[in-house]
Homo-oligomer: A and B are copies of this chain.
């Protein structure tokens, strides 16, 4: 591919699609040509890439002809329908929806963790859910060093994880509050401004949400630890961008805070911000817009001899979605 790659972005007007365009530029991904796909209501508008206005198209018959890499962030139904068409047309599909994540034939990839799995793809590589990616990043070096035995994870998830409508709703409710007006909840099941909602995705079984079950199944698949016990609680908070997760991790071999700090600092894509005396720890407002996941509040769990507590924050539009997808593309078109 001397002259670069023919790229398609499906779901280009969404929060992840927009971040994908930004990152393709930022990272100087060798884009030879760019096709921009979105739903019918966006057709006719344009998106900007590398200073050029690109016409938004609707996916239709023959849409993927000539496309080499198709980055999908358009929702599961769209992925299920169009990803196989793109593969048939010869494209490598990198899918950010949940459509194929648990398909045994589809690798579920975080490049820093399981790049090898990506290379065994059969046309589609799945990108994990944003919360799974941010959570699994610090778990991997712990797992390698001490074998994970159990993980308890509680998330604080930003509204942009629910897309541009989520951002619009937090903005609208916060502005309504400032004007002394009533807040309207449409995107989220309840008011999100000045509130927290312990409910993301639909309720599925046994009182769990889809988001929580994704965290369990995806972390297991990424780490190739199919029986790893995980206790998740996922919560929406009034933050625009970047997910935070409070993690308690039990390992077979005890890992102290100092050793954990070394392991995290040495792991690609992870950075340690952990200086309590200077009030320094990761938070959404400082992590937003950054590519790495940041770990802090690293401490021995006083309740268990082989457990560690810590706090990890990642921009879920970047590492949690768009960036992870582009990293997969970089890995496979290298």
Could you tell me which A residues sit within 8 Å of B by CB distance? 150-152, 154, 156, 170, 174-175, 177-179, 189-191, 194-199, 203, 206-208, 216, 229-231, 233, 235, 237-240, 244, 246, 248, 257, 274, 276-277, 279, 281, 283-286, 296-304, 307, 309, 311
Contact = CB atoms under 8 A, between A and B. Distances in A.
15 contacts: A150-B303, A150-B304, A170-B194, A178-B178, A190-B279, A194-B238, A196-B237, A196-B244, A198-B283, A198-B296, A199-B297, A203-B276, A230-B302, A230-B303, A237-B238
B235 A248 contact: no
A126 to B, nearest CB: 22
A208 B302 CA distance: 10
Given A194-B284, A199-B297, A231-B304, 12 more contacts: A152-B231, A156-B235, A178-B179, A190-B279, A194-B240, A196-B239, A198-B283, A198-B311, A199-B281, A207-B274, A231-B309, A233-B309
B207 A297 contact: yes
Nearest to A179: B178
A106 to B, nearest CB: 24
Nearest to A298: B207
A9 to B, nearest CB: 28
Contacts of A238: 194, 237-239
Contact of A207 (B156, B229, B276): B276
A189 B311 contact: no
A112 to B, nearest CB: 24
A123 to B, nearest CB: 32
Contacts of A284: 194-196
A175 B299 CA distance: 36
